[in-house]
Amino acid sequence: MESNLIVKLADGSERSCGKGIAIATLADDISPGLRKSAVAARVDGRLVDLGHALLGDCALEFVPLDSEAGLAVYRRSAARLAAQAVKRVLGADRVRLGECRETEDGFSVDVQADEPLTPAVLRAVEKEMDAIARANLPVVRRLLGRDEAIAWFGRRGEPFLLERLRELPAGAEVAVYEQGEFADMCDGPLLPSTGRIKAFKLFGVSGAYWRGDADGAVLQRVHGAAFLKKSQLDRHLALLEEAKKRDHRKLGRELELFMFSEEAPGMPFYLPKGMAVREALERFSRSFWRKRGYEEVRTPLMMNRRLWEQSGHWDHYKDNIYFAKADDAEYALKPMNCPGHILLYNNRRRSYRELPIRYAEFGQVHRHEYSGALNGMMRVRAFCQDDAHLFVRPDQLEREIAGILALIDEMYAAFGFAYRIELSTKPESAMGSAELWERAERALEQSLRRRGAEYRLNPGDGAFYGPKIDFHIRDAIGRSWQCATVQLDFQMPEKFDLSYVGEDGGKHRPVLVHRAVFGSVDRFVGILTEHYAGAFPLWLAPVQAAVIPVSEADAESALALREALEEAGLRAEADLRQEKLGYKVREAQLAKVPYTLVLGEAERAGGTVSVRRRGESAAAAMTPAELIARLRAEEAARA
């Protein structure tokens, strides 16, 4: 080999190498420790295997196992380990491979098998995974031509892989990874051997349509967790157990917050207590809207099809829209609120002096989801968005985005939520010119930088009409939920010919900003139910105080106290059942009521009430006036 390559390393140093040298060999030359810790590399920013040959001058960065990219390689490899084990346990000719993919905390594997993957089968698969890992099989990457790969996987009886291969253009090359007798198509990179996979756990099987197509084959999806160390896996499994206890579907039933019915799949029903939580959230939002100059509006649930064609939703979203016909016209249940707000703006001529206009709405929307994707309040077909649309002059844009970012930060602080930010850029399905997209992306990026906010770039994940900033909140047990979004839109103003009269008397185009904080109010209720494990803070609690008389003689005093609390704007219930005091106190505790108030002969005589706060064993004596003052102060502080 000629020594004619210059490789620039991440620390700024340079190495002279022979053309065609494998990255793994170079790593060994630099340091045996580096070869051991690295699982992949970036060549001029492109992620590749350690077996990749260097053919020209390049910048090279090694990817360690304990990095974010390294963990993705690890989990991608764990998925293939699971797929190989399934084939071994059931027989290779009885299992057709679908897709293997890494997930946020592990992996999933889709297979079509001749028998169900029962818990007993999963236990056998997990045992076989351990055996394959201990065997430390080398993982070898091969490049095959499209036709060669079709013939090769055809002989192996893999119809789903063949379907993917036949969609490739003639002459395309396909990366195939082999470990022992197992093979799969994969862009990679993967770990160099199966022995690097140390800690994993299979925890369930679900149904899945091939490629998400309800008319396609039904596969079995194996779910698994994979971590670098057993201690990390154990912590994750403990978190999953805690998540089961906090499951909003379970707590929603037990606390009588919300329910679902087969008469309206994916559409939540709110019981009185759940409605109290939702109303508290809406009051909370409205208080911020008023302070920041938003005007609340209401738009129809159903609008003519031509509106959705004009907005672009018809082309990009029609499979998710519900339709109805009336008076020989086709209507759509709105999947989004923005076109309705645009009609409000276009209701009359606008002056530059009126802008910014900030419309806000708790807007009910409907979006069709496959029944298999529905998940309690987290994935529904009908939900309410805390939507706002701001119509602004270009010179106001940065200030308005800064105001939205501050609003989101302030509102999330009330729940104790930390968050991370993602900036999502132009997707393949985007509409509009590249110039408008560049302007929009630049405006969002500058707003984040001026605020000093840390963010991650998420290329290609913007909305079809513009780039967006997404906020991912972290709940009490460390799970991430995408909620708030800020989307910049230069497209809709063009499509609907929005304008305002400028200071020069001419027509000018406003910029449209889409904004939500909760995202889906219903989903946010579900998230909060799990975040607080049903023990809502006082300001959100459906019942803030349970009044419990010691005996029947105290019932009248209990009713009077409940009435006084309600007159003060607090939510209270009186338990007048002929049950033992301890039983009723225990019931209030199980219902996670923030304050339990006991009234007996001693309290009546002293003009006080015995007050016990949730989670505390000691009770304090207070007058009704002192109690009300305390509860109102705590509610106002949102403590």
Out of 514, 523, 584, 592, pick the active-site residue.
514
326 vs 165: CA distance, rounded Å: 46
Joined together, the tokens standing for residue 129 give: 């995974």
Q: Reply yes or no on whether 389 is catalytic.
A: yes
Does a cis peptide bond (omega within 30 degrees of 0) precede residue 356?
yes
77 vs 133: CA distance, rounded Å: 11
CA distances from 611 to 14, 240, 546, 577, 636 (A): 72, 35, 10, 20, 19
Out of 179, 220, 385, 491, pick the active-site residue.
385
Q: Reply yes or no on whether 468 is catalytic.
A: yes
Phi, psi at 488, each rounded to 5°: -100, 135
Phi, psi at 563, each rounded to 5°: -65, -40
Out of 105, 184, 386, 387, pick the active-site residue.
387
The DSSP secondary-structure symbol of 578 reads S
Q: List own/partner pairs for 584-589 with CB under 8 A and 24 or more apart.
A: 584/548, 585/548, 585/612, 588/546, 588/548, 589/614
Q: Tally the residues of the chain.
A: 639
Q: Reply yes or no on whether 286 is catalytic.
A: no
Burial degree of 280 (CB within 10 A; 0-12, 13-18, 19+): buried
* Contact in structure between 378 and 246 (CB atoms under 8 Å): no
Out of 76, 248, 350, 367, pick the active-site residue.
367
Out of 236, 366, 389, 571, pick the active-site residue.
389
* Contact in structure between 233 and 107 (CB atoms under 8 Å): no
Rg (CA), the chain: 30
45 vs 88: CA distance, rounded Å: 37
Joined together, the tokens standing for residue 251 give: 């707590």
Strands 329-333 and 418-424: unpaired
Out of 100, 338, 384, 483, pick the active-site residue.
338
The DSSP secondary-structure symbol of 54 reads P
Out of 426, 468, 571, 614, pick the active-site residue.
468
Q: Reply yes or no on whether 211 is catalytic.
A: no
- Coil, helix or strand at residue 574: strand
* Contact in structure between 86 and 125 (CB atoms under 8 Å): yes
Q: Reply yes or no on whether 367 is catalytic.
A: yes
Q: Reply yes or no on whether 384 is catalytic.
A: no
- Residue 240: CB atoms within 10 A of its CB come to 14
Cite the active site residues.
338, 367, 385, 387, 389, 468, 514
